[in-house]
Amino acid sequence: MPLKLEGVSFSYRSNDGSSIPALRDVSLTINEGDFSGIMGHTGCGKTTLIQIMAGLLAPQSGRVLLDGEDINGKAYDKALLRRKLGLVFQFPEYQLFESTVEKDLAFGLKYAGLKGDEVKARTQWALETMGFSYENIRSLSPLSLSGGEKRRIAIAGVLVTKPGYLLLDEPLAGLDPAGCQSLLNTLARLNSEGTTVIMVSHNAEALGEYAGRLAVLDRAALVMEGPLKELFSDPLKLKALHLNAGGPREIAEMLSRRGLAIPAALTSYEELLGAIKSLLLHKGAAQPETPPGGTP
């Protein structure tokens, strides 16, 4: 069943006591198996939204339903929520604290009721899923690793519980291109294996390559939601929200203005390359052959 928000609102208090809206009457459904992106300019409510989805904040009005149950209801089992849903904070490497990588991951299973062998198996699986050799990394201090390695260890610490829903707040921030690509490939693989991925990101190109649906926030309100290809096909509306549809869409738009028939729903470099190749092949096939020594 889906993760569903119904009329969710939340406000913070400023230093002078006034109310600052973070979310206004947001209704959103994330279906099982989705790879959904969340976009919006800084301060629009994205982080508050996923913290409410994860049960870290309770909405001041509205409900959050997971598998049809209100996660903020008095009778709801929060331990069950932690098993079903994992949240990766922005810069999660700052949360690493144990003396070894293995102990750090095992801490995430502290209340899962698993035995020693099961904990080891989960830890090994999570580390290998994030591209590590279990034997080589398990005994190292997480604080001795590189920035990119710390990020992957921290994400492994969330994956170790095998959540059905994985929420990530700007997971690509601060990573080099190789690190971004590696993480995106891992998320795509997890999604193909059944994990629902919900990713907050300013990286329109990454979302264009991997996300199937997109939600856009502006000034605490949900202003756009639907299949990503449909939303990215309206770059003017995105620009009005101070967002962009990424390099592939912008290049396609530029080529279209020069008379090339590029599909409006194009969102990835692979699709862009395919469209250009198709146009060139079609144009070549349409050219009449020139006989040797003369014009056709």
Of the candidates 283, 279, 280, 245, the residue with the CA atom closest to the CA atom of residue 265: 245
Contacts 24+ apart (CB under 8 A), 231-234: 232/204, 232/208, 232/265, 232/267, 233/264, 233/265
How far is the CA of 160 from the CAs of 28, 103, 249, in angstroms?
27, 12, 36
Cβ contacts of 155 within 8 Å, gap of 6 or more: 88, 92, 130, 168, 171, 183
Q: What is this structure's pTM?
A: 0.84
Q: Where are the domains of the chain?
A: 3-244, 245-286
From first to last of its 296 residues, the chain has per-residue pLDDT tens of 799 999 999 999 988 888 999 999 999 999 999 999 999 988 899 999 999 999 999 999 999 999 999 999 999 988 889 889 999 998 888 888 899 999 999 987 876 778 888 999 999 999 999 999 999 999 999 989 988 888 899 899 999 999 999 999 999 988 888 888 889 999 999 999 999 999 999 888 899 889 999 999 999 999 999 999 888 877 778 878 878 777 777 777 777 777 777 776 667 777 778 878 877 777 666 555 555 555 55
The Cα–Cα gap between 195 and 177 comes to: 24
The reported pLDDT for the residue numbered 231 is 86
Q: What's the CATH number for 3-244?
A: 3.40.50.300
**Ramachandran angles phi, psi of 284, nearest 5°:** -65, -40
